[in-house]
Structure 1
Amino acid sequence: MSPLSLVPKTFVLFLSFRCRSVTRLRSVSARTMSSQPGQRVFQLRQDPLTGNSEWIVIEENDQTGAPETSTDGLLATTSYLDMLNDSRRNRAFRLAIEKTITEPCHVLDIGAGTGLLSMMAARAMGEEEEESGDSKGIVTACESYLPMVKLMRKVLHKNGMTKNVNLINKRSDELKVGSELASRADVLVSEILDSELLGEGLIPSLQHAHDMLLVDNPKTVPYRATTYCQLVESTFLCNMHDLRNNEAKSPDGVRLVPPGSESLFGIKSQQYGMHVDAIEKEIKLLSEPVKIFEFDFWKRPESNGELEVHIDAISAGSIHAIISWWVLQLDTLRDWCDHWKQCVWFTPGAGVSISKGEKVHLHAAHTCTNILYNLKKTQSLTHEMTQSHLSTGYLHLTLPAERVAIYGDNMYRQSIWEATRNALQGKSHPQCLVIDDSLLLPLMALRISNRSRVISLSPGLQEISARYLEAIADSNGFSKDRFEYFGEGKAKLAEAYLGKIDLLIGEPYYYGLESRLPWQNLRFWKDRTLLDSVLSEGAVVMPYKGVLRGCAMYLPDLWKSRCCLGSVEGFDHALVNTTLGGCGDLPSGKDSPCLPFFIWQCGETKKLSKEFTVMEFDFSKPITGPCSGEVQIEFMKSGICHGIALWMDWVMDKENSTVISTGPDVRYWKQGVKLLGKPITVREKGLSSIGIQASLDPSSNGELIITHTLS
């Protein structure tokens, strides 16, 4: 096992690494009303400008694989396409299935997706050639998410496999032998793994399958998974959780984590998934890789497990994090792909100091859904996994790791401080309205002006932010009566503060939108428009405007992982391209979506053009109607252009003296990426040209529409 080179990306037998189920369907949720034919699903769709949600109906009415557009886009933000584009992974799956299934039998596929494993299993039994219907072999495939069921049905129909695979729109724990299954299955194939291995319900799914659905001693693909971890030092990773020590260096005097209040604030509790290879040069290895847990898929797993291990430090330093990953026995994969990530478990505070050769005691434990770590040296060091929990007498606010890092960044804090100070200048008793989920702005406004009063809407964090700010009020030098959380809605706010607000502000930041496209924080403009009546004469709106910026980029790894599919191990998948958000050879009239990515984690990248402005949004005025912009890209380097990176710059004041960028040079924000249908070779000041067009119609669904033209 090689040390974090960065982390070995190894498959034992065949399995992949991707987000599944609801986690995999990042920005959507679904509610199934029935599991029978003719059922319907209510799919939650959110207007990004208003934050309002509505339920749209997805009918189970497609039995033949006929074209349908109602589910297009629902699956585009998932990792299915990345997985299916991983040819070596797919080949490993095929070889493992062919080695395991050597004669007709009953195969169960849990979490069937597009049906690739089911079709591989049927083909391994020779079922694609069976027309008499007398074969003893059968594949039962279960998939709980209706849009994916509809897509899989089309794939089966296209490949002539509808008679060979029995597709059931249920969770595996809803299946019963004698009902959906004629008998217990001899072989289990599945891929219900996430970056932490257990987070998508692997253990309970295997337990139920072994108890109720499988024969004794079944064959399984995969066969076994093994988890590993490694101790590392990394300032970058430390900054993503140690806000208390980082903000102590800030001269603004505002403290989100005052001394003695550490228990009030923390990062989200799950292990943090990321492409660790992207920061290889910023990591110091403090130990060799250590084997932790082993999970055999062919036998019933335990719900809980514990392990004590002593680790020898190979270098002196501070343990800022534990990097963890899992291995499945088979081929070694080393190509970058979006669905393969490692996990970061942050150690408490500023880390744990160790000397070379020192022994570190690691206690590892797993539940049905998590793997937890606890480090100990000579003295006990405990680290309670933070929970997003709020009850009477108890308060704990959790934020994503990127937001913690932003709040601990001195340059960011200085920009926010200066912009807020300038906005408050000349106002004797200002009434400040914070309309987003910022925690920093209320404290800064109260500290900069000791006569200010702050009202916060906090639409995402809601009353937990109010209780949090009240809890740390005294430490930051303001009384609780200067702060108010207003949770009664914008209409009531307009009545209560008609013409009384002197400063309407936001970062902008909306809790829960961190993994979405950066311009969806234009919700700030919509909220500002709805609250125009509360502004006093001469009121200041901050930020003053938003600017949609972009850059043409060389993105070979990302493009390869998102390009349109043809044949996947001999099975035609071309019809999934539009639904899964592919780029490349799309049908006429179809275009690839703009999707959110951390550019710095997208493998090899290079800027090919100067940064350019596509359009601007003037927040000093309410939205009055549709707006649009366009630009022709000027290339500054020769190379192959795979797509356009897009992001928002927030201009905080009218003088443009303070600008906060969310571009690819800052690693705490995701950018939007518009991949081209076909990569183009460009030459500096050559004939190749790309035009970018953007439009926003706030009266429709609030989406920013991005298109491009080639010439």
Structure 2
Amino acid sequence: MPSLPSTLTLQHLTRLSLTTTTTTPTFLHRTTSKAHDALRAMSSVPPHRMFQLRLDPLTGNSEWVVLEEEDEDPQNPTKALLSSTSYLDMLNDSRRNTAFHEAIKKTLTRPCHVLDIGAGTGLLSMMAAKAMDSTHTMENNGGEGMVSACESYLPMFKLMRKVIRANRMEKKIRVFCKRSDELKIGLDLPSRADILVSEILDSELLGEGLIPTLQHAHDELLVANPQTVPYRATIYSQLVECTYLRKLHDLHGSEAHASDCVLLTPSGLETAICVKVQQHAMHCDALSAETKLLSEPFKIFEFDFWKRPDSRGETELQVKATSDGIVHAVVSWWVLQLDCDGAIFYSTAPKWISSPLTEAPDWCDHWKQCVWFIPGMGMPVSRGEQVSLEALHSETSVSYNLRNANKRLEVDPRLYNSEHHLILLPERIAIYGDREWRNAMLKATRSALEGKSSPLCIVADDSVFLTILIACLTSSTSSHVISMFPGLREKGHMYLQAVADANGFSMDRVEVIGRKTCLTLDDTNQRKVDLLVGEPFYHGNEGMLPWQNLRFWKERTKLDSVLSEDALIMPCKGILKACAMSLPDLWKSRNCLSGIEGFDHSVVNETFGACGDLPELKVGPCLPYFIWQCGESKELSEVFTVMEFNFQEHIRACYGKTKSQFDSVLQIGFTKPGVCHGFALWIDWVMDAKNSIVVSTGPDSRYWKQGVKLLSKPVPVGPLGLCDLGESCLVDISASFDSSAGELIIDSTFSSL
């Protein structure tokens, strides 16, 4: 068959958005726009700007980019702001779209005033406009039928206008780039709305500000006894045992089995490193084989959208244990009733929950289940035992406390809010508690320090583990450790002070730099550095693409002037690995949009970073995912090396495996038949010069995200010699790394020979 070219451009910018107009919490719908219709034109609100913080992943430096409301320049650097969000996945959720559409058509039986809060692309607004259009001719300026849509996030608001124009509905929907709590009756809206349609739900249900938004809407924007879509939401929970979930938060328990000298959470400071006290969203279906259910599902809270909700609530239940075990977590999900008759539902329940009310869920990434970790080692229970569960909800979150006849487990916020406590992501907690990882670091560090009686060492990243390990292994009073801690900064210093005595080292031998990005000999008292180390780990950058941890290479280059001639670098190199993958669920969720329930959304594809079914010469971005949580997946090739990064040298451009611009093509054969949707990419860190200690961040290591690059179109493949007609058996890979921009480019060409 003919070759199928596919150019893969792997680039990522992390951005943080703020506005110039308010400091109100971001879960409310924020004003960032001037007038767009006759009523708004009566006010003198000036144009607003949004500032986007653009981060250079290789240096950690950032700059503010100004995004103007009226800026439609296709070359604007903020064009791909939304590519790493879950909007595309959400809009590809056909079960969600159909449920909302059916409920809106069922609810809107007459012309009325409809308000859409958090309108996104305007999909629900267009559904409402079309539903009313079928019953009565709508007039936008004074008629009975009217749709008002507010969206506070400026890039999304601009996109919504494009979508509405593409569907020729700009005269039927009045749009406001405002928070809902800034809409005014008589200024923005001519009257209170009869019907509210809104989808401001996250995996926890409340995290996007559902309660305060509904409260304000009922107080100021809606008629008495309004109709709403959705009608009601109910949160359900279940007690589970799962060792993997325990490892994601119980570092103190994991350290009890460690064989090294490091105590990250010594006795009396068990929560010195901990996860944030909240529910954590994750795909629990991926853990079903290692999860033991210890109770039946039980209802926690119910929220009616058609009436004003309370800011806080609590409930206490007696939950019967259905098996012997240890409760490690409470898994929760919600069920949405979209119509008042109770005929249309949507559920985020895991697949082990079956219900006659909802269809079996498809994999999607925008709504997951939530996990509440039970403190410490968990709560042992016996079959038939009654467990008292207390659930509390605030305006934006749900929390739990458990007790039985023998034990009470509740979270004391004071134990987690001390100034010396470090809040890390669950996966980082699990890495620090992993015996194999710790042994690899111990072995590599001991080897690097061998023969050095009083070394000067620099920890280039945010690794508190390596800082403590080196301080413990270098007992000489003249040895010294300098920790850069570019992300942890002063918090890292206070943490080290708190655990120093328990680990047997003096803070006189440890220095934290924090904000300084480059060192000179003046900073080292004219001493040359003997050892430069990193995991690498940069606090706050955990969600970035794997190769963006090559920031370590950049830092090593900047520190070259203070390194001794025989300085050891650990890790000594990084190896970019890849594997061809079948990822049908992920590919479906990132596929290009065309019509959603009959509404054209093709104009959003480039902005959202759509990958599948792209026009010719268009490529989607590479995005970070936990492969093991991406639904159905299958490796179609052996793992292969794309290129190597030698940290003994200064950072430089790299080309494929051979480092030659003219001879950098790798030819990879497929080992299994299937449909190739793209490639998973990651870095293996070689910690020693003998290549004997390697820390892999690939799909088999569930604590790290991989980079996923989806093809423009899926390609049927098969092993060489066993390919059917129309299948490819080989793929040619060429690669280059731009060290100045941190950009990785991969070209792939499939062939049958």
Instruction: Check 1:131–1:272 CA distance in 2 against 1; reply closer, same or farther (3 A cut).
Output: closer
Q: What's the counterpart of residue 32 of structure 1?
A: 19
In structure 2, distance between residues paired with 1:356 and 1:586: 54
Contact 2:240/2:291 (<8 A) preserved: yes
Report the secondary structure of 1:633's partner residue. Answer: strand
CA deviation digits over 1:312-350, x for unaligned, max 9?
111111111111111112143411111121011000111
Report the secondary structure of 1:464's partner residue. Answer: helix
Deviation for aligned residue 1:243: 0.9
In structure 1, distance between residues paired with 2:650 and 2:124: 52
Q: What's the counterpart of residue 42 of structure 1?
A: 51
Instruction: Check 1:520–1:486 CA distance in 2 against 1; reply closer, same or farther (3 A cut).
Output: same
Among residues 106, 110, 124, which one is paired with 1:103 in the alignment?
Answer: 110
1:207 aligns with 2:215: yes
Instruction: Check 1:285–1:619 CA distance in 2 against 1; reply closer, same or farther (3 A cut).
Output: same
Contact 1:127/1:164 (<8 A) preserved: no
Q: What's the counterpart of residue 394 of structure 2?
A: 367
Report the secondary structure of 1:120's partner residue. Answer: helix
Q: What's the counterpart of residue 565 of structure 1?
A: 593
Q: What's the counterpart of residue 395 of structure 1?
A: 420
Letter in 2 for 1:257: T
Deviation for aligned residue 1:450: 1.3
1:708 aligns with 2:708: no
In structure 2, distance between residues paired with 1:177 and 1:285: 50
CA deviation digits over 1:297-326, x for unaligned, max 9?
111111110111111111111111111111
Letter in 2 for 1:588: E
- The range that moved more, 51-60 or 328-337, is 328-337
In structure 1, distance between residues paired with 2:414 and 2:152: 28
Report the secondary structure of 2:711's partner residue. Answer: strand
Deviation for aligned residue 1:488: 4.7
In structure 2, distance between residues paired with 1:491 and 1:581: 35
In structure 1, distance between residues paired with 2:210 and 2:261: 46
1:651 aligns with 2:649: no
1:253 aligns with 2:261: yes
Query: What is the aligned length?
Result: 682
Fraction of identical pairs, as percent: 58
What TM-score comes out, normalization by structure 2 length? 0.87
Q: What's the counterpart of residue 218 of structure 1?
A: 226
In structure 1, distance between residues paired with 2:379 and 2:123: 45
CA deviation digits over 1:367-411, x for unaligned, max 9?
1111010001124524326589767xx432111100111111100
Q: What's the counterpart of residue 194 of structure 2?
A: 186
CA deviation digits over 1:451-483, x for unaligned, max 9?
232111111111111111111111111112121
In structure 1, distance between residues paired with 2:496 and 2:519: 22
Deviation for aligned residue 1:67: 6.2
1:692 aligns with 2:730: no
Deviation for aligned residue 1:627: 5.2
In structure 2, distance between residues paired with 1:181 and 1:323: 41
Among residues 313, 321, 324, which one is paired with 1:305 in the alignment?
Answer: 313
Q: What's the counterpart of residue 596 of structure 1?
A: 624
CA deviation digits over 1:407-461, x for unaligned, max 9?
1110000011111111111111011100111111011112222123211111111
Deviation for aligned residue 1:696: 2.6
Instruction: Check 1:693–1:163 CA distance in 2 against 1; reply closer, same or farther (3 A cut).
Output: farther
CA deviation digits over 1:473-526, x for unaligned, max 9?
111111121211113513455531255211110000011111221111111111
In structure 1, distance between residues paired with 2:285 and 2:365: 12
Contact 1:581/1:592 (<8 A) preserved: yes
In structure 2, distance between residues paired with 1:46 and 1:264: 29
In structure 2, distance between residues paired with 1:207 and 1:618: 57
Q: Which aligned pairs between 1:119-518 and structure 2 lie closer than 5 A?
A: 119-126=126-133, 130=137, 133=140, 135-329=143-337, 330=345, 331-379=358-406, 381-384=408-411, 386=413, 394-451=419-476, 452-493=479-520, 495-497=522-524, 500-518=528-546
Instruction: Check 1:273–1:131 CA distance in 2 against 1; reply closer, same or farther (3 A cut).
Output: closer
Deviation for aligned residue 1:625: 4.7
In structure 1, distance between residues paired with 2:269 and 2:76: 51
Contact 1:58/1:70 (<8 A) preserved: no
CA deviation digits over 1:549-593, x for unaligned, max 9?
100011111111111111100001111111111112323332011
Report the secondary structure of 1:324's partner residue. Answer: strand
Letter in 2 for 1:673: V
Report the secondary structure of 2:111's partner residue. Answer: coil
Instruction: Check 1:488–1:131 CA distance in 2 against 1; reply closer, same or farther (3 A cut).
Output: closer
In structure 2, distance between residues paired with 1:272 and 1:26: 24
Q: What's the counterpart of residue 17 of structure 1?
A: none
Q: What's the counterpart of residue 662 of structure 2?
A: none
Deviation for aligned residue 1:657: 0.8
Report the secondary structure of 1:395's partner residue. Answer: coil
Contact 2:580/2:635 (<8 A) preserved: yes
Q: What's the counterpart of residue 113 of structure 1?
A: 120
What TM-score comes out, normalization by structure 1 length? 0.92
Q: Which aligned pairs between 1:502-581 and structure 2 lie closer than 5 A?
A: 502-581=530-609
Which structure 2 segments of 5+ residues have no match? 1-11, 21-31, 36-46, 338-344, 346-357, 658-664
Instruction: Check 1:414–1:463 CA distance in 2 against 1; reply closer, same or farther (3 A cut).
Output: same
Contact 1:77/1:595 (<8 A) preserved: yes
CA deviation digits over 1:187-239, x for unaligned, max 9?
11111111111111111111111111111111111111111111111111111
Letter in 2 for 1:697: D
In structure 1, distance between residues paired with 2:70 and 2:701: 46
Letter in 1 for 2:666: V
In structure 2, distance between residues paired with 1:277 and 1:381: 29
Contact 1:554/1:605 (<8 A) preserved: yes
Instruction: Check 1:378–1:195 CA distance in 2 against 1; reply closer, same or farther (3 A cut).
Output: same
Q: Which aligned pairs between 1:654-673 and structure 2 lie closer than 5 A?
A: 654-673=689-708
In structure 1, distance between residues paired with 2:521 and 2:678: 43
Contact 2:676/2:714 (<8 A) preserved: yes
Letter in 1 for 2:243: T
CA deviation digits over 1:629-688, x for unaligned, max 9?
553322111111111000111111111011100000011111110001111111101544
In structure 2, distance between residues paired with 1:494 and 1:559: 51
Q: What's the counterpart of residue 74 of structure 1?
A: 81
Contact 2:614/2:713 (<8 A) preserved: no
Report the secondary structure of 2:579's partner residue. Answer: strand
Contact 2:33/2:69 (<8 A) preserved: no
Instruction: Check 1:539–1:318 CA distance in 2 against 1; reply closer, same or farther (3 A cut).
Output: same
In structure 1, distance between residues paired with 2:257 and 2:95: 48
Letter in 2 for 1:658: I
Report the secondary structure of 2:244's partner residue. Answer: helix
Letter in 2 for 1:72: K
Deviation for aligned residue 1:127: 7.1
Contact 1:578/1:586 (<8 A) preserved: no
Which structure 1 segments of 5+ residues have no match? 1-24
In structure 2, distance between residues paired with 1:513 and 1:457: 15
Letter in 2 for 1:40: R
